[in-house]
Structure 1
């Protein structure tokens, strides 16, 4: 447990050095909110949730890319692969919750007649899904530019697809739109249960994927070369 906390602290420190990146991460959800604020409260809440999802996913992408050079040294120091990816994920979840709190307060102050508990659950689901999602992309696409473009593509698809379509259910952040519908439009509890179930399943699948990808990559010894037999 101590090693998980250590890696989580290292992740937060690394992200804290990128103050410009952190500022942009806060501006993205705020921008999404302001663009939709005058049109419809439901649209502004859904846009805010997507902004939080993109921000946390991008932070996870940057943290994963920045840790590539450090990971071999930590492995030599006795850290196991699960210490590295679970510790980083823990740090990103903490960051995501810290980012979500002021935006949750914003919805409470700026809107009325919402199920604020549902908004909090939707933000929590966004954070839970976004951290491992960004880590998977960061592990598979080592260049930050490529990963950022992929994240933008996913967010664009999430915004354009009809939430009721079968294709929308395959997107990682569909749960937030279902829960937001329950919180904003006061629909039946099926929206809430479907959203929470979707978030739980997607988070579990992403964590398993992270474990597999990092397990393979961190067990490689690229610096070692076998001498040919004479």
Structure 2
């Protein structure tokens, strides 16, 4: 547990160094919420959840990119690959919970006509999915700019694509639409079941992707340089 905690603490320290970025990311869900609160109160709940997912995924992307330099040295110190990505995920999930709680309290106070239990569940699944999604992008894409653009495309498609289409169901945040519909519109529990199932499957797939990508990348030992004797 000590090694997991050490990696988690290092990840938190690295994220706290980007204070201005963290402030912007923390305000992003609020901007999503206020953009729809005036005329579409129900949609504002879905939008704040998407804003939360975008913010946490971006933080995870930055955390994964920042860890590229130090991870090889930690591996040489005896850390295993699962120590690194599990510790980093724990830090990101803690940040996600700290970010989600104030927005859930905002919805709790500001909106009476929704099912608050499913809203809390939707946010919890969003935190669980967003952290490994951002880390997976950082493992696949070498630069933060490319990862940020991919996040922009994913969130944009999630907002604009027909929710019943196959493309929408393939996106990682589709569950928020189903659970949000159940929480806001009072539909049958089938929406809740589909949303939870989709969220759990996405979380498991993304966690497996992070584990595989991290293990393969760290086994390459690109930090070692072999000198050919003359």
Shorter-chain TM-score: what band?
Answer: over 0.9
Larger mean Cα displacement after TM superposition, 106-115 or 49-58 = 106-115
Partner of 2:139: 139
Does residue 66 in structure 1 map to residue 70 in structure 2? Answer: no
Partner of 1:174: 174
The Cα shift of 1:152 comes to 0.5
Partner of 1:43: 43
Backbone CA RMSD of aligned residues: 1.3
Does residue 93 in structure 1 map to residue 85 in structure 2? Answer: no
Distance in 1 (alpha carbons) for counterparts of 2:49 and 2:224: 45
Larger mean Cα displacement after TM superposition, 44-53 or 157-166 = 157-166
Distance in 1 (alpha carbons) for counterparts of 2:15 and 2:100: 16
Unaligned 5+ runs, structure 2? none
Distance in 2 (alpha carbons) for counterparts of 1:216 and 1:209: 11
Distance in 2 (alpha carbons) for counterparts of 1:210 and 1:224: 23
Secondary structure, in 3 states, of the residue corresponding to 2:163? coil
Post-superposition, which runs of at least 4 consecutive aligned residues in structure 1 deviate over 2 A?
Answer: 223-230
The Cα shift of 1:229 comes to 8.4
The Cα shift of 1:223 comes to 3.3
The Cα shift of 1:5 comes to 1.7
Partner of 1:189: 189
Unaligned 5+ runs, structure 1? none
Normalising by structure 1, report the TM-score. Answer: 0.97
Partner of 1:211: 211
Distance in 1 (alpha carbons) for counterparts of 2:166 and 2:67: 36
Partner of 2:112: 112
Partner of 1:129: 129
Cα contact 2:72–2:223 (8 A) shared by 1: no
Distance in 2 (alpha carbons) for counterparts of 1:223 and 1:26: 35
Distance in 1 (alpha carbons) for counterparts of 2:177 and 2:2: 36
Larger mean Cα displacement after TM superposition, 153-162 or 216-225 = 216-225
Q: 1:63 to 1:178 in 2, by over 3 A?
A: same
The Cα shift of 1:164 comes to 1.7
Does residue 224 in structure 1 map to residue 220 in structure 2? Answer: no
- Count of aligned residue pairs for this structure pair: 230
**Alignment of structure 1 residues 48-59 onto 2, 5 Å:** 48-59=48-59
Distance in 1 (alpha carbons) for counterparts of 2:87 and 2:185: 37
Partner of 2:9: 9
Larger mean Cα displacement after TM superposition, 49-58 or 19-28 = 19-28
Distance in 2 (alpha carbons) for counterparts of 1:223 and 1:213: 17
Partner of 1:77: 77
